[in-house]
Amino acid sequence: MQRLLVAGVSIAFAIASGVGSAGAADKKVLAFVVNGASDFWKIAEAGMKKAQGELPNYDLQFKYPEQAAAAVQQRVMDDLVAAGAAGIMVSAVDPKNQTDHLNKVASQTVLFTTDSDAPQSKRVAYIGSSNTDLGKEAGKLMVKALPNGGKCVGFVGLPGADNARERIEGVKDTIKGSKVELVDVRGDEIDQTRAKRNVEDILAAMPDVSCLVGFYSYNTPRIYEVLKEAGKLNKIKIIGFDEDPITLGGVKEGSIVGTVVQQPFEWGYQGMKLMANYIGGNKSGVPANGIIIVPGKVIEKANVDDFMASMKQMLKK
């Protein structure tokens, strides 16, 4: 399937910034609705704040549901629609089972998806990562870290979300034929306490586990904490996703093999501008298949310092 590829801040589609001025009461609302509370989303929020400076005719709002549940997320979107929001960008908690509701939202406002797509819905476009490709990169790190093979266990927030399912599939495709096995994946519904307990349970049940994979941003820090408490750092390989400070610190010190990161700043920045442009009548930035890919990156010890410096700069904006 043909996809529009977006690299860094150089976007292939043309985006017109807002012009003129408007009073607060005249501003159209564009909302970014996430799937749960996580520090990961602060990066996307920073991107949205940059976009706000370039879209004076819009009021950009970032929404955190108080619970990582489809029903709660749906209520947030219903409230936004009732208040007259011109557009919503959402990382769907459970895309498959939310399709009917997402279609209802799409019938009343402009709907985009990010992070976790809902391809069966009537959303205008998805802007985010290819989660399958991210999973493949993680699989390469696993094979590299375990040349003689071994048993691995993964941890994820929402097993039913497209981003989780596709990452896991990408890992499995890459390790197929090697001696590395992904023997289990534990879900936690974006519950930090449960996420840590899942790691503790695996250590107790599987003394022969060779590597642990954190599929969501907060999973890798919980893995790191449990292994450190158990005195098993550097004895069990850790592979992560996303750019949590604990994860990056572990990569820097060598206790985490590497992490596969996305570019959530661009989702917030370019995504909001694209949505405003679309609402304004310029639809040229949306490809025929509605998929806009922002590539990920693999962060290892050799490039972690440069990446951390770039992160610091982005969060200043």
Kindly give the confidence (pLDDT) of every residue in the chain, 317 residues in length, as a single tens digit, with 9 standing for 90 and above: 334 454 443 344 334 443 333 445 689 999 999 998 888 899 999 999 999 999 999 999 999 999 989 999 999 999 999 999 999 999 999 988 999 999 999 999 999 999 989 999 999 999 999 999 999 999 999 999 999 999 999 999 999 888 999 999 999 999 999 999 999 999 999 999 999 999 999 999 999 999 999 999 999 999 999 999 999 999 999 999 999 999 999 999 999 999 999 999 999 999 999 999 999 999 999 999 999 999 999 999 999 999 999 998 888 76
DSSP strands (E only) in 82-179: 87-90, 110-114, 125-128, 150-156
Domain membership of residue 316 (yes or no) is: no
Q: For residues 118 and 160, state if they share a domain.
A: no
pLDDT value at position 161? 87
Shared domain for 125 and 267, answered yes or no, is yes
Any idea what the CATH number is for the domain that residue 268 is in? 3.40.50.2300
38 domain-assigned: yes
| 37 and 124, same domain (yes or no) | yes
Q: Are residues 192 and 257 in the same domain?
A: yes
Q: How many domains does the chain have?
A: 2
Which DSSP symbol is given to 20? S
User: Are 80 and 227 in the same domain?
Assistant: no
107, 151: one domain: no
Residues 232 and 287 in one domain: no
Same domain, 86 and 204: no
In this structure, the answer to whether residues 22 and 125 fall within a common structural domain is: yes
Is residue 81 located within the same domain as residue 196?
Answer: no
- On whether residue 301 sits in a domain, the answer given is no
CA distance 248 to 254: 10
Q: Which domain holds residue 95?
A: 4-129+263-294
Distance from C-alpha of 163 to C-alpha of 159, rounded to nearest angstrom: 9
Look at the pTM and tell me if it is higher than 0.85: no
Cβ burial 60-99 (10 Å sphere, 16+ → b, else e): bbbbbbeebbbeebbebbeebbeeebbbbbbbbbbbeebb
Question: Are 20 and 62 found together in one domain?
Answer: yes
Whether residue 141 sits in one domain with residue 125: no
